[in-house]
Amino acid sequence: MMTVRISDDALALACGADDVAAAFEKAGAAVERVSSWGMHWLEPLVEVNGVGFGPVTPADVQAILDGGADALCIGPVAAHPFIVAQQRLTFARAGKTRPLSLDDYEATDGWKGLGRARELGPEATIEEVVASGLRGRGGAGFPTGIKWRTVAAARADQKYIVCNADEGDSATFADRMIMEGDPYQLIEGMAIAGFAVGASKGYIYVRSEYPHAIAKLEQAIHKSAHIIAPFHLEVREGAGAYVCGEETSLLNSLEGKRGEVRAKPPLPALEGLFGKPTVVNNLLSLCAVTHILADGATFYADYGLGRSRGTMPIQLAGNVKHGGLFETAFGISLGTLVNEIGGGTASGRPVKAVQVGGPLGAYIHPDQFDIPFDYEAYAAVDALIGHGGICVFDDTADLAGMARFAMEFCAVESCGKCTPCRIGSTRGKELIDRILARAPRGRDTVEALPQMHNAPRSARALEDEITLLEDLCETMKFGSLCALGGFTPYPVLSALRHWPEDFGVTRMAEAAE
């Protein structure tokens, strides 16, 4: 009997994979549900003896079984240019294994990293992670090994490993793909972390928008409990708050509180979950650890450039022709990613802007497409890599509208703890509305009182409103407690700087920056 492989991750399901799988079964084929290769424009992707077809509908099933459907055929999946061009470590198993099969995981070097860590002992394990140069993949880029050292050195009766899988940034889906496609890799990474720092308990905090990921993880934890013992894992479901992706807010949420940000210090490494020393790592960092331990720090550090070592699972999304998961060493240029690998926009129109790093990331102009994918290079142009999400926009996009949305999003999702974020975002939205409506704010009743000597004597001009917006952004950037308020100015200011015409103003004076 013919075996057909079809992904069962949420994206494939949303594109109709279950109907396709049912049609194959009805036609007498054996269907194996595997993880997704990450070539999303081809989903539902069907693999028959290594040869891929996509996107497949139930109507195509008979033709594929009969050896036809040439129009959908992409040839051998593993040899597809999108796959061949990658350097996959974290996603090495993508498309190849059944997500919950322990046999498949073991057969693909699963548990090798945990085994080696147990041979090396906790201290050498941490030194291996330090030597690899791994930096947190959640966005901040803090060296993972240093964080582990701090927690290992802390004395406490209980320590925790917390995986931040609250992947709320638009244009990111790498965490979801791991949880749904390769959950044992995350479990192994957390077990290594627990062993290294002396923590017996771990929590995976997953956003509630990912019900499929939660279900897979729970099954995977149950099936692998004996392998990672005495380390114990539990999945916790978020409740629709973007800010809980911030580590201290996440810890409050895990404790059953409002997801408000905590001031630092104390660092979570010393006083984290329930006041105990806690490693809070992004899901992708924990997955990278399994490869660092399995193959050695040098092997991992040989990928990348400068202070950005290893590989980054980049997520090509939005209005892009070939969207999906592209894992590669740091250093690749944005232009290559968007135009060559992504194939330009899905709409076929010119690329106008690319937002890198989620809703808090800057909008990047095609003029800047030569910048290499590297933490420092992005920081140098007032941008950030974040969680590696790239969202492409075509020339129909209104960047002033997107800047307004950035403020609106911040207002909706602010935890309310600090003023620049809570109030600034609402005022920012109003300010952009006034700029777009060409209705600068007039003098209010109080300002018109005779004793208000320093109040402006006339209504604000459009230029004054722009200056005020820039000023507000500065305040949010430097006065907010966490990245939500602190980074919302990035999309706003980058939109204003590169596309002032969308705001109806002429190019900004450089001095205003």
Partner 1 sequence: MNDGKADRLDEIIASHSRREGPLLPILHDIQAEFGHVSEEAKRRIAGALNLSRAEVHGVVSFYHDFRSEPAGKPVLKLCRAEACKSRGVEALVGAAEAVAGDRVAVETVYCLGLCTVGPNAMVGKTVHARLDSAKLTALIGEMA
By the criterion CB under 8 A, which residues form the site for partner 1?
10-11, 13-15, 40-41, 43, 167-173, 175-176, 208-212, 234, 236-242, 253-260, 274, 315-320, 323-324, 346, 355, 358-359, 389, 391-394, 397, 402, 405, 409, 412-413, 415
Looking up tokens 């709409």 gives 347
Which residue, 176 or 262, has its beta carbon nearer to partner 1?
176
Q: Is 459 buried (19+), middle (13-18) or exposed (0-12) by CB count in 10 A?
A: exposed
How far, in Å, are 24, 97, 228, 267, 474 from residue 126 at the CA level? Answer: 48, 29, 18, 19, 38
Rounded to a whole number of angstroms, the minimum distance from the CB of residue 404 to partner 1 is 12
Which residue, 309 or 417, has its beta carbon nearer to partner 1?
417
Asked whether 163 and 279 are in contact (CB, 8 A), the reply is: no
Rounded to a whole number of angstroms, the minimum distance from the CB of residue 21 to partner 1 is 16
Q: Is 330 buried (19+), middle (13-18) or exposed (0-12) by CB count in 10 A?
A: buried
Backbone conformation region of residue 141, classed left if phi is above 0, alpha if psi is from -120 to 50, else beta: left
Contacts of residue 190, defined as CB under 8 A and 6 or more positions apart, other chains included, come to 161, 163, 202, 204, 228, 231, 233, 286
Rounded to a whole number of angstroms, the minimum distance from the CB of residue 208 to partner 1 is 5
Rounded to a whole number of angstroms, the minimum distance from the CB of residue 240 to partner 1 is 4
Which residue, 41 or 378, has its beta carbon nearer to partner 1?
41
Strands in 201-206's sheet, in edge-to-edge order, are 232-237, 201-206, 160-165, 278-282
Which residue, 354 or 508, has its beta carbon nearer to partner 1?
354
Q: CA-to-CA distance for 80 and 87, rounded, in angstroms?
A: 13
Which residue, 304 or 324, has its beta carbon nearer to partner 1?
324
Which residue, 44 or 110, has its beta carbon nearer to partner 1?
44
SS (H, E, C) 405-419: HHHHHHHHHCCCCCH
Rounded to a whole number of angstroms, the minimum distance from the CB of residue 166 to partner 1 is 11
Which residue, 352 or 477, has its beta carbon nearer to partner 1?
352
Which residue, 117 or 325, has its beta carbon nearer to partner 1?
325
Rounded to a whole number of angstroms, the minimum distance from the CB of residue 176 to partner 1 is 4
Contacts of residue 406, defined as CB under 8 A and 6 or more positions apart, other chains included, come to 359, 360, 488, 491, 492, 495
Rounded to a whole number of angstroms, the minimum distance from the CB of residue 202 to partner 1 is 12
Q: CA-to-CA distance for 121 and 198, rounded, in angstroms?
A: 11
